[in-house]
Chain A
Amino acid sequence: MDKGLLAYLLIPLLSAVLIPFAARARRRLADVIANVTLLAGLANLAWLVLRPSMISGGFADIPGDGLTLLLVGAVYLVGFCVTFFSAWFMEDGTPNRQAYYSLILVSVAAMTGVVSATDFFTLYVFIEVLAVTSFALITTDDSGRGVEGALKYFFLTFPASALIILGISILMLTLGSLSFDNLRIFMASGVPSSGPVTFGAALMLLGFLIKSGVAPFHTWTPDAYQGAYAPVSAHLAGIVTKISGVYALIRMAALLHFFDGRALALSDLLMFLGMLSIAVGAVAALRQKDFKRMLAFSSVSQVGYIVLAAGLGTPLAIMGAIFHLFNHATFKTVLFLNSASLEKSAGTTDMEKLGGMEHAMPWTSWTSVVALLSTAGVPPLSGFWSKLLIILALWQAGLKTYAVLALLFSIVTLAYFMVMQRKVFFGKKSRAAEASAEVSAPLLAPAVLMSALIVALGLLFPYFYTYVRMVAERILI
């Protein structure tokens, strides 16, 4: 485990334990402790990565492989946006305010554990903690839908855990070690029995694919995201499923790259499922009537791009995958937080009942526009660059059909988001728009912050490119 980052795991854990005691009499103290913990972590990370000497040195002094630090940043950023939003979103009488914040902080600690793990068993332990906290967080909304979402999450992701632990035990049996470094050496050195290793890796990949919600294992995602308590869906879709599934897939794919052509079938399968996910998610999103459900299918589609790139496994593709993972965290958080604002202000996320919301909620409308354009890959926003890297990598590797399809489905992405924007925000004022007003400034702040980040990442792409290239070089060489 990367010990330099241990504090980012321990401090949220301590705050999580502190909250039930400190906030017993004054419930609002729970909001303060959670927000201060995450903001302090973010400030610390910003100092670590963004100080001028670090940027001018091309990020060469970043500890570890750099991927960990980038993802801890994403975890803290989304976590902070969600807790800040929740502090104003949650009704005063909401039960279990303390338990809610404690669970969010434990899940932040678990995600930090996942990304700083250096062997597969530790990774598995933290992924399980994440699964337990996500299950409880989904049921924060204790309507029937919340419970249904949580149960679907449980029944599909726990068998995935069983597959992962089975794969891990076969790797342990055949290679005698689970640490990433040792596995890399074993795989590069020509393992005597490549069949069992491929079998173990295939079981683990299957487990991680289910956890990432990649088609055809995506059936739990729309119900879980739609049914979950509104800020929790932003947390789940923005970062949790990305860390508990997609991150591990990138790790596995980078390892298989060292397997030197002996696991080509697995890489091909990964790319095929990635493409399938892009298509299934995009087509299903076109047909949705509920805003949150449409966003959930859009997530399935965007995760497809990351899996497609991870399956390809060239340095450029891994760069694209990492960059798109980070971008996805930013734009999906904005869109899900905006859906929560809509739910609070207009009382529904049914797109048929909404319309002309732009007049009532201009800030929510325009942050949505920034996020959706970035998701669809429109320049100069951050999503354009990550999709460009992925499509270029596919083209370079001679996979022209995949490259063209990826590009075409980017246009479908733009289409379903345009339909959403027209139905919900633009057009004639609906009855819901007459009755609602823009949410308060603190509720808007996280979406505005993330939108600014989307624009900044797009405009300052050369700096970010240097960082991501450093990461891809370190994990592939």
Chain B
Amino acid sequence: MMNDYRTLLYALAVFFSLWAVMSRKLLISAIMLALVSVSVSLIFFDFGAPWAGVFELSVCAGLITVLFVGAVSLIRAEEEKHPESRARFYALPLAAAIFAIAGWFYLPQFFAEIAGWARPGTGSGTIGLALWDMRRPDLLGQVLMLAAGVFVIKSVFPRRSEK
């Protein structure tokens, strides 16, 4: 039963990501990407990594989707004038199927091998401990990344709309 639930989540994640790449409309792509994040966060919960799940859900499915949807709505009129040809992406499901079959044969051994390398990490405890005591510089990196994202949008979008 547990295994079926996991397989379902994996299948959903793959299905939504394929849809995200193949969709003709950017808005649909953004929503599909959010659904990929939701599936991945459920996988995290299932594997007993609630903090990773919470982050995936709030940051990737929430915040990033809002940013994407905002950006897409800015350039929507332009996009509708020149719809992009997606013909070359029709080969993607085939490639994914070949990868899935190859993975079915090889990946279990690979994961078993990797599990053999494992060594317990030093990090554990509450999320507060992890963020404020152990990984504080990364938070600074995230702040910097957000600032960079805002400036990138400020630098790239006005010019494109002027043209």
Is B145 on the interface with A (CB-CB < 8 A)?
A: yes
Q: State the Cβ distance, B38 to closest chain A Cβ, in Å.
A: 22
Query: Which residues from 88 to 115 on chain B have a C-beta closer than 8 Å to any C-beta of chain A?
Result: 114
* 8 A Cβ contacts from B124-149 to A: 135-138, 140-145, 147-149
* Contact yes or no, B156 A95, CB < 8 A: no
User: Quick check: is B86 within 8 A (CB to CB) of the other chain?
Assistant: no
Q: Is B55 in the interface zone, CB < 8 Å from A?
A: no
- Of A9, A98, A122, A175, the residue contacting B138 (CB under 8 A) is A122
By a CB distance below 8 angstroms, the chain A residues around B160 are 142
Cα A122 to Cα B119 in complex, Å, equals 21
Tell me if A272 is interfacial: C-beta within 8 Å of chain B: no
Is the pair B137, A122 in contact by a Cβ cutoff of 8 Å? yes
Q: Please, which residues of chain B bring their CB within 8 A of the CB of A106?
A: 144, 147-148, 151
The stretch of A123-131, A287-295, A445-453, A464-472 in contact with B is: A123-131
Closest CB in chain B relative to A181 CB, distance in Å? 12
B85 at the interface (CB under 8 A from A): no
Known: A125-B138, A139-B156. Contact between A173 and B147, CB under 8 A? Answer: no
Complex contact A125–B158 (CB within 8 A): no
What is the CA–CA distance of A109 and B143 in the complex, to the nearest angstrom? 11
Output the nearest chain A residue to B143 by Cβ-Cβ distance. Answer: A13
In the bound complex, do residue A132 and residue B138 qualify as a contact, i.e. CB atoms below 8 Å apart?
no
A80 within 8 A of B: no
Question: What residues of B have a CB within 8 angstroms of the CB of A173 in the complex?
Answer: 114, 117-119
Do A136 and B151 touch (CB < 8 A)? yes
Check B114–A13 contact: CB distance below 8 A.
no
Does residue A117 face the partner (Cβ distance < 8 Å to B)?
yes
Per-position contact with B for A87-122: 1 when CB-CB < 8 Å, else 0?
A: 000000001101110110010011001000100011
A135–B153 alpha-carbon span in the complex (Å): 12
**C-alpha spacing A121/B142, complex, angstroms:** 12
Q: Would you call B152 an interface residue if the criterion is a C-beta within 8 Å of the partner chain's C-beta atoms?
A: yes
Q: How many residues of B contact A (CB 8 A)?
A: 30
Measured CB to CB, the nearest residue on chain B to A131 is B148
Pairwise interchain contact B152-A133, C-beta atoms closer than 8 A: yes
B137 contacts A136, C-beta separation under 8 Å: no
Say yes or no for B3: interface residue by CB 8 A criterion: no
User: Roughly how many angstroms separate A20 CA and B154 CA in the complex, as a whole number?
Assistant: 10
Contacting residue for A135 out of B135, B140, B152, CB 8 A: B152
| A177 contacts chain B at the CB level, 8 A cutoff | yes
Main secondary structure of the interface of A (DSSP, over half): helix
Query: Which among B118, B122, B137, B148 is the interface contact of A177 at CB below 8 angstroms?
Result: B122
Query: A132 touching B162 by the CB < 8 A rule?
Result: no
The answer to whether B145 touches A136 (Cβ under 8 A) is: no
**Across-interface contacts of B136 in A (CB, < 8 A):** 1
Q: Which residues of B contact A170 (CB under 8 A)?
A: 114, 117
Known: A117-B137, A173-B119, A176-B119. A13 touches B147 (CB 8 A): yes
Bound-state Cα–Cα, A1 to B19, Å? 41
Residue of A nearest to B119 (CB): A176
Partner of B142, one of A17, A96, A125, A136: A125
Q: Is A345 an interface residue (CB 8 A)?
A: no
- Please state if B138 and A121 are interface contacts (CB–CB under 8 Å): yes
A196 and B159 CA atoms in complex are apart in Å by: 47
Whether B120 sits at the interface, judged by CB under 8 Å, is yes
Interfacial chain B residues near A142, Cβ < 8 Å:
159-160, 163
Instruction: Chain A residues near B144: list those with CB within 8 A.
Output: 9, 13, 106, 109-110, 113, 126, 129
For residue B141, which residues in chain A have a CB less than 8 angstroms away from its CB? 110, 113, 122, 125-126, 128-129
State how many angstroms separate the Cβ of A421 from the closest Cβ of chain B: 35
In the complex the two chains form, what is the Cα distance from A136 to B120 in whole Å? 40
The reply on A301 being an interface residue by CB < 8 A is no
State the Cβ distance, A109 to closest chain B Cβ, in Å. 6
- Chain A residues engaging chain B, CB cutoff 8 angstroms: 1, 9, 13, 16-17, 20, 95-96, 98-100, 102-103, 106, 109-110, 113, 117, 121-122, 125-126, 128-129, 132-133, 135-136, 139-140, 142, 170, 172-177, 182, 193, 196
B residues within 8 Å of A by Cβ? 114, 117-122, 135-138, 140-145, 147-149, 151-152, 154-156, 158-160, 162-163
Could you name 14 residue pairs across A and B whose Cβ atoms are closer than 8 Å?
Answer: A1-B136, A99-B154, A103-B151, A109-B144, A113-B140, A113-B144, A122-B141, A126-B141, A129-B144, A133-B151, A136-B148, A173-B114, A176-B120, A177-B121
Q: A99-B155, A103-B152 are in contact. List 13 more A-B contacts (CB 8 A).
A: A13-B144, A16-B151, A96-B158, A110-B144, A125-B145, A126-B141, A132-B145, A135-B152, A136-B148, A136-B155, A170-B117, A176-B121, A177-B122
